[in-house]
Amino acid sequence: MRRLGLTGLLVVAGCVSHGVHSLQPEDLATAPYQSLVTNAYTGSLLYEGGCLLFRDDENRIQVMPVWPSGSLFNGTSVIFHQPGKSEQRVVVGEEFQIEGQPIAWNALAGPAYAQFQRQCGTSPPFFVSRVHPAN
C-alpha cells in the first residue's frame, strides 16, 4: 500500500511544471510611476485567463495595465498607488477612466514581465498614470 502511494506521488510530481505557474490574483504588473499621459480610456477591469486586463467599452480596446509600484491587487480590486496622492481603490467590473500611455512589450525588459507577456501578450501593456471615476 505504501509503494502504491509513493508511486502515485512520483507520477503527480513528474507532471508538475516547475518553471511556469499561473498568475495569481496577487500578481500585478508594476513599474516605477510614469506621469506622461497620452491616452485616456473609460471602461472596467476584468480578470480573465489569469490576467488582469482593462477593456474600453466604447473603443473596444483591451490593454494590460502596468500599475505604479506600490499598487496592490487582492483578486477583486486594485489599490492604485500614485506618489504623493491618497490611495485609490478600483474594483474589478467597476467603470472608471484610466489615463496613461501605451508601451511595447519589448520595452518592458526583465524577467518580471516575461510571465505577463507569455500569459497576457495578446493585450498590449499600458502604463497607468491616473484613475478617475467614470462620471
3-state DSSP helix/strand/coil % of the chain, to nearest 5: 20, 40, 40
Rounded Cα distance between 132 and 82, Å, is: 12
DSSP 75: S
In sequence order, the 6+-apart residues with CB closer than 8 A to the CB of 103 are 66, 124, 125, 126, 127
- Residue with the three cell numbers 506618489: 83
Rounded Cα distance between 90 and 34, Å, is: 19
CA-based angle 121:123:125, to the nearest 5?
A: 90
Residue 75: per-residue pLDDT: 84
- In sequence order, what are the beta bridge partners of 45? 54
Query: pLDDT for 33-73, tens place per residue?
Result: 999 999 999 999 998 888 899 999 888 899 999 999 999 99
DSSP 108: S
- Which three three-digit cell numbers place residue 22? 499561473
pTM reported for the whole predicted model: 0.80
- Which three three-digit cell numbers place residue 91? 474594483
Residue 18: per-residue pLDDT: 42
